[in-house]
Amino acid sequence: MAKHFQRTGRKLLGIDRQGWIKGFFGGNATLSIIILFLICFFLITEAVRFFPQHHEKLQLHRKSGQEYVNHIITEMNEYSQLVSLTNQAYFQELNEKYALQRGISNSFEAFLDPLEDDGEDLIEALEDAEDDPEALAQAQADWRAFVSGVVEGANRADIDSFGRLDDASWAALKKAMIDYDPVEEEPPAYVTQAQQELRDGMARFEEAKNEISSAGRELKQLRQKLVKIASKVKDDAAAEESAAERKKALLAGAETMTNEAEKAAQIEQANAIVIRDEFPFAARTEEIAASKDAHKAAVAELKEKLGIAVAKLPTELSSEEASALLDQVRKAHPPFVKWLDESVAKASTWQWDRKLSFFGSAMKFFFGVDWVTNSSWHDFYGLLPLFIGSFEISLIAIMFAVPFSIGAAIYVNRLAGRWEQTLIKPAIELIQAIPSVVLGFFGIVVLGEGLRDLSQIEALSWVPGFPMQERLNVLNAGLLLALMAVPTIFTLCEDALNNVPRAYSEASLALGASKLQTVIKVIVPTAISGILAAVLLGFGRVIGETMVVLLVAGNKIALPDWSAGLGVITQPTHTMTGIIAQEMGEVTKGTLHFRALFLVGLVLFTISLCINVAAQRIIKRLGHA
Amino acid sequence: MLEESKNPFVASSNRQKIIDRVWSVIFAGFTYFVLACALFIFGKITYDGAPVLFQAEAPFINFDFLFTSPQTLVEFRDGAGELVRMDASDFRSFKEENPDAVIRDEHTFSYSGGGILGPLVGTALLVIVCMIVSLFIGVSAAVYLNEYAHHGKLVGAIRLAIMNLAGVPSIVYGLFGFAFFCLAPWFPVLTYEVNPETSVFAFKVPMSKGFLSFEGWGNSLIAGGLTLAVMALPVIIAACEESLKAVPKGFREASLALGATKWQMIRTAVLPYATPGMLTASVLGVTRVAGETAPIMFTAAVADKAKLPWQEAEGSPLFWFSDLLTQSVQALPYHIYTVSARIPDADAVRDMRYGSVFVFLLLVMGFAMISIVMRARFRSKLKW
Amino acid sequence: MNDDSVTLDSADAPVMGIDETIIKIDDLSFSYDLGKTNTLRNISLDIPAGKVTAFIGPSGCGKSTLLRCLNRMNDLVDTAKVTTGKISILDQDINAPDVEAIELRKHVGMVFQKYNPFPKSIYENVAYGLRVQGIKNKGVLDEAVEESLKKSALWSEVKDRLDSSALGLSGGQQQRLCIARTIAVKPQIVLMDEPCSALDPIATARIEELIAELRQEFTIVIVTHNMQQATRVSDRTAFFYLGELIEYADTAKIFGNPSKKQTEDYVSGRFG
């Protein structure tokens, strides 16, 4: 009887047709798990191999003495920042206080070009006529006529290209040009006088400036010497590491050769490669180790000379910017000196054979502050500046996006009229479709300029970071990403608000609450888990965004300069996503750099997974409170 | 007192009413500010970009811009001091024709001359590959999840995976695509010349001069298209599921009650009604993905390519097709990235920048808008 | 009203003596679709103060709609419209332009069919209506919460866990909490829209007891389709059918000796 209701049809491998169809669909669905797994697999396999390779690199860094020399390099870098600040202040002051004198001097030099080029024959005539008074007079007259012709015909904007001269001094300079003696190349008195004034006025400042620049001479020489040694040790050690392999390759190559002479030569070449059990680091780095005292002395000298020179810096300047710069120098000086001592102390602990822990080298990646690649000295892979850059930008984006998207969600969901709802929702969805590269382009050509102009308005100078130095910076990128985050947060928030049961709002309204009171006191608190999750997911979207930050963040790999306080938001930075996009195209598979980028990718992937999981947790836990 | 007792329901204070109004206005202000920002971006790019694409005289559209590929732009001053700009190819023939012409202050700008045919074609090909693959997998997955799956561990895991895939940053997809499709050697290509460096295994294809070589796809159309497809998958599955859910249960029950098998039921009572919705919603997902640059940066895109992909591919049909799929392509978003970030800013590159951005924005927003409108129409129709 | 010193007695509203008409419905027609079809047609009805009035009738007869007109909850529907007639409460036309729906709802409270406490603590639920009126004084709130909970016979059950979530209470308790929440704002009229339909018989009995208590202080209008309930709790009963008021009289008369045939058929269970 029951036979009537049995399935019929052929079976394949014990599975009937319906089973196969189901399996087909199920297989496609399972692909999503497989893809997630593959993404994990590929990121992890490349990324974990970074650590041993990086560890070895760092070990070589230590053994070759580069680690020690690096301290000196950093000291020099810090010191040259002081020098550069002083120089900036110097030229600022020069340009402001002695603008006229500089203008005269520069304009005079600008005049020389046409005079010497086009008046070559006349100058020769002058030189030839030196002994002949009559000819000399003639030549001088010709010269004068020529000079006045050139001077009168000159375009003022070309000569005085910075517009430093006023009308009177322009006229005076033109007149003075007649007195220029092209044979002796003696500038006219008007010009020499201006140059003298300038020199006298700036003498004290110049002296201090030069002293600051020369204070680090010893250290600089030491650096040059040690860099050379350490580089050589590193290269040799690296070469020796591969010696065995090269030898094998040469011998193998020789086997296949038919020409006996060539074969013999190659075998000889191979045998010339000495394979030592261990590279003699101790002997090779002896000189570096012996330089510790010289280093101390050089630093001591630097400190002493710098102290004297900084004290000599003028305090009364006519340029406000210059005095601000010098204040910066004076302020930075004591901590710099203190830091120098620490640095020397740290450096003196260096020993080529001190053990480097694996954990320590891994931490050098996560907490390293430098990311320097393709350098002939040493490549640094420090995630911290990139991580902070990504984080800074995302935080700003979220700060701007959250009020706007939640406000808009409340408005559209509870307050807006029906036609507004039907129009605004798709419009915001359209914003989501704006390609990120277009937003980045907009950031470069429009927002960057706009923000900079805005930041130069006097009335806005209280805003942290205004006026901004760079067009492409954290704030610019953050604002654009805020626009990208709005649709995500808005849509999810709106869903969350929509899911609040109607009974709640009815009950509230029936108790005499207004629409707004109902929203604030009942609906938002009820939907809060959804709103929180929306914000989190918005953050996830923003931190993973690539093109906008690559184009707009400024791509400067450095820790934020916290001395600017909140002003860090107008500094340029670099990001985790940006670095991958920028460098991935140019690395070779399997190199340390390649794996470092995959490791950065793995960090990003982990962050986004965590955010996703957290968002789902929040919805689950708070959703049924 | 009397006045009061007459109407007890007048608001005793206007304060709450005013607060309500003020906040309403603030929230509305937030909403419209966001829309205004988007509109401004749109307007600014249209204002500067439209003149590149459109022109005053017939045929009103600058077809040169759409139908030539990018090339180097040369800028110089002629004898009269006039500033002249021309494409590098024109410049060469100009110099041949006028050997005596005065050329001063010569500057060249890469990728800033010509038009955007190559990038347009490349993006179109990428989208086609992406669409075919992601729709096929996406629709099947959605059918499984919505029609077959019961609440089990596997389904839970699938849903969790989809949800997490949706949050993965685009650049990570790029890394994955690069490692999986481009570098790993398990994908075979048909080629006449085996690449000895990357090929791990190759054998001669019978009855042809070529080889089947397992050497990875390299930077190629297929690698980029598949990377985009993987990225589009979560969006498309969600979109398809929505359309499937909109088909009323009654259709399915009626079909089954008439003796249909599960597959017959899906084929006759579910898919016909869900297909239009699935397609339009998927277009939106694909559009969003097509606008991405990061996933194709190192899987498919190149800045410079002399010919169109199908002109460069060669060989007998099968080999030609394999060659076509493994060509690297230019792509519009990547082209925009190149001209706006990798070459120095100058007046000469302005047209190319704004022109390509405008065309790209127009295409993406156009498709997005069409699919949003269509989706809205299907949604309202779907109230059976 | 934002002043904490405000007394909670609705002193600003006129005091009504028992049997005086508090709600006067005059020739009311109402539509949910901007007047195309009328859900309620030409209803005239006077509801006395201090009594319990029951609206009965088969499903879809418009009794709930009429109830929602009384505190203008229908405003929430964009296309809802009073087509003719007017409703006066305390001698004031409630659809007059100068009437504030929010203010009206403070005087005319409502208890819903499905109990709907907010996902907040018990205390906050009851205090909610006062808080939205701007009362922040903890003492005033405490007192009002206690009083309302006592009046709604819930105090002894919840006094030790005022801070726990209201959603942890049983269904009947939740509904009594909603009643407490409603009377905390001291309305003069309490509308009840089938308050027991989601409850079991025991919980229903407790709510009915509560209604009997509350009638001493509030005018109550209750919609029910349980006729026994109407006889048990109400003083006057109005019978609606297809959007029209068929008969309105003392409860005893409606159930004992109705004057219309339709009413008799309905109360004797012949349809509905």
Q: What pLDDT shows up at residue B125?
A: 93
How many residue contacts between A and B have a Cβ separation below 8 Å?
Answer: 257
Q: What pLDDT score does C192 carry?
A: 92
Does A510 sit within 8 Å of C182, measured CB to CB?
yes
Whether the per-residue pLDDT at A625 is higher than 50: the answer is: no
Nearest Cα neighbor of C234 from C217, C250, C214 is C250
CA neighbours within 13 Å on the CB side: how many for C74?
21
Over residues B303-347, the pLDDT tens digits come to 888 788 888 777 778 888 888 888 889 999 999 999 888 888 778
Confidence of residue C9 (pLDDT cuts 50, 70, 90): very low
Chain C residue closest in CA terms to A514 = C102
| pLDDT of B383 strictly over 70 | no
| CB-nearest partner of B9 from C2, C14, C99 | C99
Task: Tell me the average pLDDT across A211-238.
Answer: 84
Residue A299 phi, psi dihedral angles, 5° rounding: -65, -40
A574 backbone dihedrals φ, ψ, rounded to 5°: -130, 160
- The span from the CA of C52 to the CA of C120, in Å, is 31
Average pLDDT, rounded, for chain B: 84
A15 has a pLDDT exceeding 80: no
Total-model pTM: 0.81
Chain C residue numbers with beta carbons less than 8 Å from the beta carbon of B7 are 92, 96, 98-99
Picking from A531, A495, A492, A535, the residue whose alpha carbon sits closest to that of residue A394 is A535
Nearest of B244, B338, B318 to residue B282 by alpha carbon: B244
Task: Write down the mean pLDDT value for chain A.
Answer: 85
Q: Which of A426, A437, A546 sits opposite B336 (nearest CB)?
A: A437
Of A154-163, A296-305, B330-339, which range is least confident?
A154-163
For residue C7, the model assigns a pLDDT of 38
Q: What is the DSSP string of B217-280?
A: --S-HHHHHHHHHHHHHHHHHHHHHHHHHHS-HHHHHHHHHTT--HHHHIIIIIHHHHHHHHHH
Compute the nearest-CA separation of B21 from chain C (Å). Answer: 14
Query: In chain A, whose CA is at the least distance from the CA of B237?
Result: A29
Contact across the interface for B34 and A408, Cβ inside 8 Å: yes
pLDDT tens sequence across C23-60: 999 999 999 888 888 889 999 999 998 899 999 988 88
pLDDT at C11 over 70: no
* pLDDT at residue number B2: 41
Q: Find the helix packing angle between A474-498 and A448-455, rounded to 10°.
A: 110
Give A64-93 pLDDT, tens digit per residue: 888 888 888 888 888 888 888 888 888 888
Q: Do the strands B211-214 and B188-191 form a parallel or antiparallel pair, or are they unpaired?
A: antiparallel
Distance of alpha carbon B232 from alpha carbon B135, whole angstroms:
9
Please compute the mean of the pLDDT values over residues B288-292 and round it to a whole number: 86
Domains, in order of start, for chain A: 95-202 (no CATH), 215-353 (no CATH), 392-624 (1.10.3720.10)
- pLDDT at C1 exceeding the cut of 50: no
Identify whether the C-beta of residue B171 lies closer than 8 Å to the C-beta of residue A42. no
Chain A residues near residue C165 by CB distance under 8 angstroms: 625
Predicted local distance difference test score (pLDDT) of residue B214: 82
Tokens 């909603």, residue?
A: C178
Q: Region C95-101: what's the mean pLDDT?
A: 83
Give the pLDDT score at C16. 56
pLDDT at A487: 94
Residue spans of alpha helices (H) in C10-162: 63-70, 101-107, 122-132, 138-151, 155-158
pLDDT for A598 equals 94
**B85-122 residue pLDDT tens:** 888 888 888 888 888 777 777 888 888 888 889 899 99
Q: Taking the CB of residue C162, how many other CB atoms lie within 10 A of it?
A: 19
CA C236 to chain centre: 15
Pick from C5, C72, C100, C185 the residue to mutate for testing the B interface (most B CBs within 10 Å).
Answer: C100
Q: What is the pLDDT of residue A614?
A: 92
SS3 content of chain B, % helix, strand, coil (to 5): 65, 10, 25
| Mean pLDDT score, A430-446 | 91
For residue A383, what pLDDT is reported? 93
Contact C92 B6 (CB under 8 A): yes
pLDDT at site B382: 58
Q: How confident is the model at residue C102 (pLDDT cuts 50, 70, 90)?
A: confident
pLDDT at position A196 is 87
Q: Kindly tell me if the per-residue pLDDT of A11 is higher than 70.
A: no
User: Using CA atoms, how far apart are residues B213 and B225, in angstroms rounded to an integer?
Assistant: 21
Q: Give yes or no for a cis peptide into A188 (omega within 30° of 0).
A: no
How crowded is residue A240: how many other Cβ atoms within 10 Å of its Cβ? Answer: 17
The reported pLDDT for the residue numbered C8 is: 39
Residue A397 pLDDT > 90, yes or no? yes
CA–CA dist B279, B261 (Å, integer): 25
The pLDDT tens digits for C120-140 are: 899 988 998 888 888 889 999
Per-residue pLDDT band for C10 (boundaries 50, 70, 90) equals very low
Residue B131 to chain A, least CA–CA distance (Å): 15
At the top level of CATH, which class does the domain B117-183+218-381 belong to?
mainly alpha
B181 or A278, which is more confident? B181
> Is pLDDT at A623 greater than 70 in this prediction?
no
- Using CB atoms, which chains have 3+ pairs under 8 A with B? A, C
- Rounded to whole angstroms, how far apart are CA atoms A103 and B216? 65
Residues 521-580, chain A, touching C (beta carbon < 8 A): 521-522, 525-526
Q: What is the mean pLDDT of residues B371-375?
A: 85
Residue C178 contacts A where some CB pair is shorter than 8 Å = yes
Residue B29, judged by CB atoms within 10 A of its CB (0-12, 13-18, 19+), counts as: middle
Least confidently predicted of A34-43, B127-136, B206-215, C194-203: B206-215
In angstroms and rounded to an integer, the radius of gyration of the C-alpha atoms of chain A is 36
* Closest CA of chain A from B357, distance in Å: 6
Q: Which of A99, A587, A526, A580 is nearest to A322 (CA)?
A: A99
Asked if C99 and B12 come within 8 Å (Cβ–Cβ), the reply is no
Averaged pLDDT, B195-207 = 75
- Residues A495 and A624: their CA atoms lie apart, in Å, by 16
pLDDT digits (tens, 9 = 90+) for B223-272: 999 999 999 999 899 889 888 888 888 788 777 777 777 888 888 888 88
Q: Indicate yes or no: CB of B353 within 8 angstroms of CB of A427.
A: no
The pLDDT, as a whole number, for residue C2 is: 41
CB contacts, 8 Å: B12 with chain C: 1, 12, 103
DSSP annotation string for B126-161: HHHHHHHHHHHHHHHHHHIIIII--SSHHHHHHHHH
At A322 the pLDDT is: 83
Could you read off the pLDDT of A358-373 as tens digits, one per residue? 888 889 899 988 888 8
Under DSSP, is residue B85 helix (H, G, I), strand (E, B) or coil?
Answer: strand
Please give the DSSP secondary-structure letter assigned to residue C19. T
Residue at A447: amino acid letter: L
pLDDT confidence of residue B210: 78
Mean pLDDT of C146-168: 90
Give the one of C89, C91, C100 whose C-beta lies nearest to B10's C-beta.
C100
Mean pLDDT of chain C: 85
Sheet holding C38-48, edge to edge: C38-48, C21-31, C81-89, C92-93
Domain boundaries, chain B: 13-61, 69-114, 117-183+218-381
Check residues A226 and A547 and name the one with the higher pLDDT: A547
Name the pLDDT band for B126 (thresholds 50, 70, 90): very high
pLDDT of residue C17: 59
